[in-house]
A and B are shown apart, each in its own frame.
Chain A
Amino acid sequence: MEHATSADPVLPDAVLDERRLRLEVPAQPSEVARVRHAVVDLLVRAGIPSTVVDDIELVVSELVSNAVVHGRPAPVSVDVGIGHGEVAVAVSNRGSPDAIPAVESWVLPAPQALSGRGLAIVRRLSDRVDVRGSGENTVVVVRRRVPGGSGPS
């Protein structure tokens, strides 16, 4: 958000809102599409290139699905921010971060494998992945650089 700081009172709050999104949804598989559509809508309106939009769409789908399926039956929250030449996505759910394997192990399984691809896909499409949290809460933060800056400001 390089142009939209608190030191820039000329910029209306609406601009800030157009580059951020926070959603909280029940931990149900049917909610994953709603989150995905809201995130894509934000990125498209912000002028993010379609290749990046497609990648983030897939990352959000994988992370929210994971949180819904493997997290506790409590709301899942999703934060998206655009700025500093990147898109950042944070997906939070109730449950221990220890339930998520180390990021280094997020690798694709053999072609014949039925499952185990979701997190490897997230890692492949991201420039950086961090798993944070305490014993009760898990946050996965993904960052993806946007070629040519962060879109029109």
Chain B
Amino acid sequence: MRLDPDGALVLDGEIDSFSAGLLAERLHVDPTITTLDLAGISFIDSSGLRVLVAANQGADGTSGIRLRSPSSAVQRLLEISGLTGHLDISA
């Protein structure tokens, strides 16, 4: 995870039930994060998806975090989960 000066937390690697917990914790304690950059995510499961949906909705103590640049792994999971078009995600 790398936090860019523009407030984008750049994620890479795999998000499963273990790493999703770490990500949720980070989002909870750092209000300067405005965006999650998803381009580098190589794998994500429903645990990771839960964090993205919550962040996007401003749930779980976050305040409406934008999502951007979903990798193919993220796009695929959104499709399987019937969420394509339901989250606020920019290219």
Q: Are B80 and A121 in contact, CB atoms less than 8 angstroms apart? A: yes
Checking B21, B45, B60 against A118 with a beta-carbon cut-off of 8 angstroms, the contacting residue is B45
Decide if the interface of chain A is mainly helix, strand, loop or mixed.
helix
**Interface residue count on the A side (C-beta < 8 Å):** 25
Which of chain A's residues have a CB closer than 8 A to the CB of B45?
58, 61-62, 65, 118, 121
Q: Are A58 and B77 in contact, CB atoms less than 8 angstroms apart? A: yes
Decide if the interface of chain B is mainly helix, strand, loop or mixed.
helix
Q: Are B17 and A124 in contact, CB atoms less than 8 angstroms apart? A: no
Which of chain A's residues have a CB closer than 8 A to the CB of B27?
none
Which of chain B's residues have a CB closer than 8 A to the CB of A124?
80
Q: Are A117 and B81 in contact, CB atoms less than 8 angstroms apart? A: yes
With A and B bound together, what is the CA distance between A121 and B57 in angstroms?
21
Which 9 residue pairs of A and B lie closest in terms of their CB atoms, listed nearest first?
A111-B86, A29-B18, A118-B46, A65-B17, A61-B45, A117-B46, A29-B17, A30-B18, A108-B82
* B-binding residues in A (CB < 8 A): 29-30, 32-33, 36, 54, 57-58, 61-62, 65, 68-69, 108, 111-115, 117-118, 120-121, 124-125
